[in-house]
Amino acid sequence: MASEKLTEISQHPSPSEDAGADVADYLLGSDLSKLRGWVEARSASFLRSADAGERSPIRRVREKFRSCEVPDTAMALDDYLSLLDQDVLPHCSSLASPRYLGHMTSPIPGFLPELGRLVQTLNQNVVKMETSGSLTFVERQVLGMLHKETYGFDTAFYDRRVQDRDSTLGLFASGGTIANLTALRAAKQRASVHAGGGARMAVIGSELMHYSFAKGADLMGLELRRVPVDEQNRMLPAALEREIEACEAEGVTVAALIAIAGTTEFGSVDPLASICRLGQARNIHVHVDAAWGGGFLLSPRNRHILAGIELADTVTIDGHKQLMVPLGCGMLFFRDPEVSKTIMHHAPYAVRPNSEDQGRFTLEGTRPATAIYVHAALHLIGKSVYDALFSASLERTRIMARHIEGMPEFELTSRPDMNILTYRYIPEAMRGTTPGPADNHRISRFNVALQRAQRDKGDSFVSRTFRPVSRHGDEPLALLRAVLLNPRTTEDDILFLLRDQVGIARELENSPAFHE
Amino acid sequence: MASEKLTEISQHPSPSEDAGADVADYLLGSDLSKLRGWVEARSASFLRSADAGERSPIRRVREKFRSCEVPDTAMALDDYLSLLDQDVLPHCSSLASPRYLGHMTSPIPGFLPELGRLVQTLNQNVVKMETSGSLTFVERQVLGMLHKETYGFDTAFYDRRVQDRDSTLGLFASGGTIANLTALRAAKQRASVHAGGGARMAVIGSELMHYSFAKGADLMGLELRRVPVDEQNRMLPAALEREIEACEAEGVTVAALIAIAGTTEFGSVDPLASICRLGQARNIHVHVDAAWGGGFLLSPRNRHILAGIELADTVTIDGHKQLMVPLGCGMLFFRDPEVSKTIMHHAPYAVRPNSEDQGRFTLEGTRPATAIYVHAALHLIGKSVYDALFSASLERTRIMARHIEGMPEFELTSRPDMNILTYRYIPEAMRGTTPGPADNHRISRFNVALQRAQRDKGDSFVSRTFRPVSRHGDEPLALLRAVLLNPRTTEDDILFLLRDQVGIARELENSPAFHE
């Protein structure tokens, strides 16, 4: 990739001259062995790193990315890789570290980025058969496989439906947000049949609904109503029933009930069966947001956590969370594939009504063939390893909860249904008594400072959230949030993280700012 | 990856035992050299192939993807790769063939899938700083670079805005559809300030508007009004003005005017400056959908095609179309970054209002760091090579148009503004006269059959669409559509494709079905 040559090339635009061929060769024919070695080394060092965070002050990193000039002449590859080495890679989040327990991303199995190179080279566009060929069928097969894990219909059902061109068992989306939006769209269509298009409509879920529902409700002109959760952070069906009745009394049509199978903040699971039965009895669409928890369906020993999901009208599952595939693998499933027909779109040049095009069903248009990642993961990991993986994650969560409960410095603030837990640090002066509102406010400020200091120190990481904890009343409290997803995290890592926090907290407690 | 071992592993779930470590090693520590060699060979053979299509009857391919069983035990890697070799790869679309001129995807420069492996290994989530670190700044820098190419404000503007945490110059989305939806959302917010939330609102664009606007209008309860195009497939500003006045007379608020910079079907460019001035005069949001054409901004010799785009309130550009990066790189730009504040969202555990998180502005939540592909392309290709590339594509398009006009078998049905053209085959018996409606209907049926037969033969490929051609009246006609994007396509490939079509057409003309 000699940049000298490219200046010459750009003088000769015609494809019938040599220069056109030179451009093509430059773009498509370069020797990539050097780049490959560099990628290999950087990938390995990222995966090996035990650091969990960011050491450089973010302000200093930001300054490196101010220039808005597109280079006239191509940069030499070496120079570009140096730029990545100096300014980008050292300041990425260390999601692969076994001591980074903060968010819903984990290191992914090495075979997936390898396949990713092929997926990107093939560059198939699954909006349409003509641009994706067999990948359209792969996508439908993967959706069929996970539909079966979710709903468990018989073989005859899947044989008839999995490749039926008139409907679909589900669809891929860039993420859970677009999947949830699409579910709301289907629910609104269904409700409109009875209520008419102009009716006031509401969506009801717990106060822990993902913010994608707020986005969707806002876009679609639906009211979003939130009902309380119990002390385990699970929706109260009685409160849901009251809210449905309130809607009826106000002349508001309830378009959908949302049940959560793994809340983002606590990993708690709503009573799925009760909520689904309530929806069925009243002919209201029930959507289960299992973006986080859906993967547990692949764990025979643990799928009971999701009991009742098979009654939902639609279900969202994110492959890129618990199935450990790269980002960009949201999925939506329809219990009754006929429902997919209510959200069909087509265009004269692209997706056609009588085709096999999956683009007829998706809110998105052009999409990459991310289904291949889920296909590969299901085949190369298999249910028994997923089972071991989920069991180990739950065990890790229990171990962490036990350690938190055993340490006087911490208060466990949620009992985990899945592999997420929350807790907070209690400054020494406040231990042993029940904190009042002013104390809790102070403890919250302390935990925000603690989480920031831990992130900046960079040896371990948890995230934080801001939510009420029932035994402390209705005021939101700052909570530390651990997501136990990384298969490499050991008990030692967990202890390291907790002790790291205690150490940082003691320093904070001794600082003058704490005593102001 | 011995599957025997995995069955054992799954018996021992605890992470404190060896088995937990075994699962981690299996998933994260496998030797990937064999897979890497396989990916390398398959990528190279895909890029080398001159075939343009699908030879196996689609029905037979579909049958291979019926099983909905998730394997209990992991499949051996060799077996899985055989599956891909036998059932998947031979039936992909040959988008890299220089004789595949059908859709808006092309082979992408080899360095991008290599970097893709690193991007997927890092698995950074740009919804939030805490999960993406420097990649958030990279994303904002790339948006700044392309904002500058679009709007061309001065250095002081970019220096102040590019990394300003309170607003954004643009955002990344999975594709043009989500970018266009987001533009509609911003436009609706602006119109609601004057009209009130409950007002009837419309979006006006030409009849060639992308179907994402129909999706967006449907979601958001906006009326979609389509105005006619001229014989060059460009919107008529006079017709737009009449439609705005009709809306006013009906008490409908016009929320947005849509101008297209590169229609999907013809590559035609609406009169951007006139439409933008109309919007400015009436205080209506103007959105330019430059998903296809926006890349031309990087071509100094050809960017005049987009003159006026700098007056638009918002602009959509797809990196994965003309900028040659992998699928999944839609972008939206705001002329005035203050507009981005009107579509802000946040959530307690994720994106926070006073953070640097790009997730505050996006309809999507979790997103991969696709910005790195555009960043790498802008640096490693550079403006001079993009200039050569776009000039060569336009030259190729002119060459193809000249050949079509020079062959009695074909009728050129659109004069290209960009690198897309349409034409149709005229069966011998119908040449030399002006076809009436019945003739046109017959010619359309013939061209549909021709496109299908060419696709099935698999030596070359164009797509088809169904649109009126002004000199033939208002009835839609089936048209062949060529997209000239592949830098490897030569004049010989173009001639090969046209002669291939003539050969197939003659066979069809001689078949008994034609004479029925």
Instruction: Tell me the domain boundaries of chain A.
Output: 39-65+74-108+382-515, 125-368
How confident is the prediction along chain A (516 residues), in pLDDT tens digits per residue?
334 344 344 443 444 444 456 777 777 777 788 999 999 999 999 988 876 665 667 888 999 999 999 999 999 999 999 999 999 999 999 889 999 999 998 889 999 999 999 999 999 999 999 899 999 999 999 999 999 999 999 999 999 999 999 999 999 999 999 999 999 999 999 999 888 767 899 999 999 999 999 999 999 999 999 999 999 999 999 999 999 999 999 999 999 999 999 999 999 999 999 999 999 999 999 999 999 999 999 999 999 999 999 999 999 999 999 999 999 999 999 999 999 999 988 665 555 667 889 999 999 999 999 999 999 999 999 999 999 999 999 999 999 999 999 999 999 999 899 999 999 999 999 998 899 999 999 999 999 999 999 998 989 999 999 999 999 999 999 999 999 999 999 999 999 999 999 999 999 999 887 776
Name the residue in chain A with its Cα closest to that of B155: A68
Closest-CA distance, B367 to chain A, in angstroms, reads: 6
Contact pairs from chain A to chain B, CB under 8 Å: 548
Of A68, A110, A120, Cβ closest to residue B326: A120
Over residues B221-268, the pLDDT tens digits come to 999 999 999 999 999 999 999 999 999 999 999 999 999 999 999 999
CA atoms within a 13 Å half-sphere pointing along the CA-CB vector of B141: 24
Burial of B40 (0-12, 13-18, 19+ CB in 10 A): middle
Pairing status of strand B477-483 against strand B463-467: antiparallel
What the block records as the tokens of B176 is 């043009």
Report how far apart, in Å, the C-alpha atoms of A104 and of each of A316, A487, A498, A500 are.
Answer: 16, 13, 19, 21
Give me the pLDDT at residue B15, please.
41
Interface contact A137, partner B, CB < 8 A: yes
Report the DSSP beta bridge partners of residue B351: none
| Chain B contact set for A105 (CB, 8 A) | 123-125, 131
SS3 label, residue A126: coil
Residue B274 CA to residue B271 CA, distance in Å, equals 6
Burial of A214 (0-12, 13-18, 19+ CB in 10 A): middle
Q: Which of B52, B452, B332, B88 is nearest to A135 (CA)?
A: B88
Give me the pLDDT at residue B347, please.
62
H or E element, residue A79: helix A77-83
- CB contact at 8 A, B506 and B444: no
Taking an 8 Å cut-off on Cβ atoms, the answer to whether B124 and A92 are in contact is: yes
Of A117, A461, A463, Cβ closest to residue B117: A117
- CB contact at 8 A, A267 and A418: yes
B39-65+74-108+382-515 maps to CATH 3.90.1150.170: yes
Give me the pLDDT at residue A349, please.
54
Residue type (1 letter), B511: S
Closest-CA distance, A128 to chain B, in angstroms, reads: 10
Is the ipTM, as predicted for this complex, more than 0.85? yes
What's CA A366's distance to the chain center, in Å? 21
B85: left (phi over 0), alpha (psi -120 to 50) or beta: alpha
Options 3.30.420.10, 3.40.640.10, 3.40.50.300, 3.20.20.140; which CATH number does B125-368 get? 3.40.640.10
Exposure letters A381-419 (e unless 16+ CB within 10 A, then b): bbbbbbbbbbbbbbbbbebbbebbeebebbbbbbebbbb
Of A21, A159, A350, Cβ closest to residue B66: A159
Taking an 8 Å cut-off on Cβ atoms, the answer to whether A214 and B345 are in contact is: yes
Give me the pLDDT at residue A57, please.
74
Q: Which of A114, A1, A243, A162 is nearest to B84 (CA)?
A: A114
Residue B205 CA to residue B286 CA, distance in Å, equals 10
Interface contact B82, partner A, CB < 8 A: no
Closest-CA distance, A277 to chain B, in angstroms, reads: 27
Length of chain A equals: 516
Report the DSSP beta bridge partners of residue A480: A423, A464
Report how far apart, in Å, the C-alpha atoms of A39 and of each of A36, A89, A195, A489, B122 are.
Answer: 5, 11, 56, 25, 11
Q: Which of B385, B413, B491 to mutate to test the interface with A (most CBs of A within 10 A)?
A: B385
Residue A130 CA to residue B330 CA, distance in Å, equals 21
- Residue A50 backbone dihedrals phi, psi, to 5 degrees: -95, -15
| Chain A contact set for B488 (CB, 8 A) | 24, 28
Report how far apart, in Å, the C-alpha atoms of B222 and of each of A203, B188, B190 are.
Answer: 20, 9, 14
- Residue A438 backbone dihedrals phi, psi, to 5 degrees: -65, -40
Interface contact A380, partner B, CB < 8 A: yes
Taking an 8 Å cut-off on Cβ atoms, the answer to whether B380 and A70 are in contact is: no
Interface contact A358, partner B, CB < 8 A: no
| Chain A contact set for B158 (CB, 8 A) | 66, 68
What the block records as the tokens of A331 is 């999925």
Q: In what order do the strands lie in the sheet with B477-483?
A: B410-412, B420-425, B477-483, B463-467
Residues 172-191 of A with CB under 8 A from B: 174-178, 181, 185
What the block records as the tokens of B501 is 């079509």
Residues in chain B with pLDDT < 50?
1-19
Q: Which of A278, A468, A125 is nearest to B108 (CA)?
A: A125
Interface contact A462, partner B, CB < 8 A: no
Residue B332 CA to residue A357 CA, distance in Å, equals 26
Residues 298-317 of A with CB under 8 A from B: 298, 301
Name the residue in chain B with its Cα closest to that of A25: B488
Closest-CA distance, B498 to chain A, in angstroms, reads: 17
Interface contact A408, partner B, CB < 8 A: no
Residue B408 CA to residue A353 CA, distance in Å, equals 33
| Chain B contact set for A399 (CB, 8 A) | 15-16
